[in-house]
Structure 1
Amino acid sequence: MPTTVDTPATAQQSGRSARPDRGAPRARRSVARATHPMWFLAPAFAILLVFFFLPTVFNFVYAFTDWSSFKSQIHPVGLDNFAGLVSDGTLLRALRITIVYAILVAVFQNLFGFLLAVLLERDTAVNRIARVCLLIPVLMSALAVGYIFQALLKPEGSLNGVLGTLLRHDVDYAWLADPTWTIVTVSVIHAWKWMGLSMLIYLAGLKTVPVDLMEAGRTDGASRWRTFWAIRFPLLAPAITFNVATALLGSMNGFDIVQATTGGGPARTTEILNIFIYRTFGQGLFAQATTMSLMLFLAVTIMAFPVIRILRRREEVL
């Protein structure tokens, strides 16, 4: 029987054929560049540059000028705009109202969303229909939601009519005219609009809890209530972080619901920063409005991001 002797040439050839083709990844990358060139992203980057990055840069620049509709030229004024807004107290008042509004919205939105997620967790036909119905406000225009609630909460509105029927006497409470509770009412409206999104995130978190952990808890004799709060709730930390962060960022940048329901009233008790910026810009004081928008940016950065970092650390601990 003939035998074959591996010469260096044949060994080198067989080794080269045994090794994977190193040129294949390079060829795939060249094909990817040919079929998906990076310049396809140029229109998106151009739109982002013109409508986001440039206005943001000019926002920092015009805050230190005297830009207004009453002057033909723009001159730098340093920190005069900041000093004027702080000295008369209007900026600090609007900032305080914005922070209170953001905290209330974050609490209500996450509370409503979490309770709904727990209530509608089971995959039944009724629960599926209820989930879809609760997501409808998320898809609605915020202005439309505000105007609907403005009509419902009038002294002669439908809510007082229903309460009057149940209590068997006339109810004419002005839900949007009480300086003490209007900020709470508007916060509940904002939370109602977005609670469907929070519910969806919490539902996703509940569905990802491993079944083995639940069975281990029940095997150890833990009750259903104890199993939920000791096992399932801690594992919802990523969902809580996302919902709290989005609620804070969205409410601090809120405008449309407050504008449609109260317009900043009564007695400017719901005049959040964006309402104040809108009014100031409408008066032609462009530099002051730009200064307030810069302060809003700083407030969001100072308030929201530390909260997000604390929640992320909590996720690492859990």
Structure 2
Amino acid sequence: MSTSLTLRKRRRKEHITIIGFILPAFLVYGTYVLYGIINTFYYSTLDWSGIGPASQAVQTGFANFSKLLKDGHFAHALGNNILLVFVSLVFQLGFGMILALIINSRARGTRFFRTVYFMPLLLSTVATGILWQLMLDPYSGLFNGILNFISPDQRLSWLGSEQVVMFAVLFVICWQYTPQYMILLRAGMTNVPDEIYEAATIDGASKWQQFWRLTLPLLSGTIKTSAVLSIVGSMKYFDLIWIMTGGGPNGYSELMATYMYKKAFNQDQMGYASTIAGCMVIISLAVIIIFQTMTRSREDRN
């Protein structure tokens, strides 16, 4: 009887200790994330400029959501976000895997390449945006200099052309964030025992077979985590687009976050901007749930 009582007291102390460690983080998360999300959906039901108390704003119900469904600018911005998700999953993860394999190899100079490949991620986003603005300048930029060398009198407005701007910015985003996935995948590769590859080599497996049959399956958890980070980051992306183009020209590089910012702070439509933010939350959750369901069903089949 005394033993069971002692075990109960010990478990109660453990539970109190666990709650004590979790509670501060939960309070911060609840205050700055959950409360903010709830307030966002509340503001989305208002016709509010952001100036003055929200309690005195006019209630509009779901009028802002109805307006958003008919908003062509938002639909275009959503399309750009989906394009960014696709490019991030294919190119950032793809090139991140290639770079991770290079720096994980035993070739000479891998320490040097680890530093070089990681450098884009060390730069601040503002510095990166200004740097690439200068390089993509139509008159004095490096890219047009190379283009003129190949084809004289040829000049391309990389950030001013409606047909080119999104691809130029996507290239810069991939350049900056590919090292992040390189590091994640490289960390996953270090957890794979060398004995597995040695046994595969003895059995006559080629490097390609080892990568396809061993590396990819063993990195499935890391790849899935990287993909989730890529999707979430792409759906709420803002900073580099805003610095380089501001969503222009004519909204052709607009994203949901830049469109939301303009509505909130340039046009004083805080209620409508909150509607955009709420839709960003809903769409991001829906995409993540679909992705998780698809990957889980594939894992179950395997």
Q: Same fold (TM over 0.5)?
A: yes
Q: Within 5 Å, which residues of 2 pair with 1:61-76?
A: 61-69=42-50, 73-76=56-59
Which runs of 5 or more structure 2 residues have no equivalent in the other structure? none
Given that 1:106 and 1:191 are in contact with CA atoms closer than 8 Å, whether structure 2 keeps it comes out as no
Partner of 2:32: 51
**Deviation per CA, 1:90-124, whole angstroms, max 9, x where unpaired?**
32222122111221122221122011111221256
Residue 280 of structure 2 is aligned to residue 296 of structure 1: yes
Distance 1:209-1:76 versus aligned 2 partners, 3 A rule: same
* Higher relative contact order (Cα pairs below 8 Å, separated by 6+ residues): 2
Q: Within 5 Å, which residues of 2 pair with 1:262-281?
A: 262-281=245-264
Separation in 1, partners of 2:247, 2:80 = 10
Q: Which of 179, 202, 209 is matched with 1:196 structurally? A: 179
Partner of 1:246: 229
Separation in 2, partners of 1:50, 1:202 = 33
Separation in 2, partners of 1:157, 1:27 = 70
Q: Which of 91, 105, 115 is matched with 2:98 structurally? A: 115
Identity of aligned residues (%): 28
Partner of 1:93: 76
Report the Cα offset of residue 253 of structure 1.
0.7
CA RMSD of aligned residues (A): 3.1
Q: Within 5 Å, which residues of 2 pair with 1:207-246?
A: 207-246=190-229
**Deviation per CA, 1:228-283, whole angstroms, max 9, x where unpaired?**
22332232211221111111111111000100111111221110100100000011
Q: Which amino acid aligns with 1:157?
A: G
Separation in 2, partners of 1:307, 1:31 = 39
Distance 1:43-1:218 versus aligned 2 partners, 3 A rule: closer
Distance 1:41-1:26 versus aligned 2 partners, 3 A rule: same
Q: Within 5 Å, which residues of 2 pair with 1:10-89?
A: 44-69=25-50, 73-89=56-72
Q: Which amino acid aligns with 1:293?
A: A
Separation in 2, partners of 1:61, 1:269 = 30
Separation in 2, partners of 1:58, 1:150 = 37
| SS at 2:58 equivalent | coil
Q: Which amino acid aligns with 2:96?
A: G
Given that 1:237 and 1:315 are in contact with CA atoms closer than 8 Å, whether structure 2 keeps it comes out as no
**Deviation per CA, 1:180-216, whole angstroms, max 9, x where unpaired?**
2322221221122111111112212333334444344
| SS at 2:205 equivalent | coil
Given that 1:241 and 1:312 are in contact with CA atoms closer than 8 Å, whether structure 2 keeps it comes out as no
Q: Which moved more, 1:291-300 or 1:208-217?
A: 208-217
Q: Which amino acid aligns with 2:293?
A: R
Given that 2:50 and 2:271 are in contact with CA atoms closer than 8 Å, whether structure 1 keeps it comes out as no
Distance 1:102-1:228 versus aligned 2 partners, 3 A rule: closer
Separation in 2, partners of 1:218, 1:39 = 51
Distance 1:209-1:280 versus aligned 2 partners, 3 A rule: same
Q: How many residues align?
A: 298
Given that 2:48 and 2:271 are in contact with CA atoms closer than 8 Å, whether structure 1 keeps it comes out as yes
Distance 1:279-1:216 versus aligned 2 partners, 3 A rule: same
Separation in 2, partners of 1:100, 1:214 = 37
Residue 285 of structure 2 is aligned to residue 285 of structure 1: no
Residue 89 of structure 2 is aligned to residue 106 of structure 1: yes
Q: Which of 127, 130, 138 is matched with 1:144 structurally? A: 127
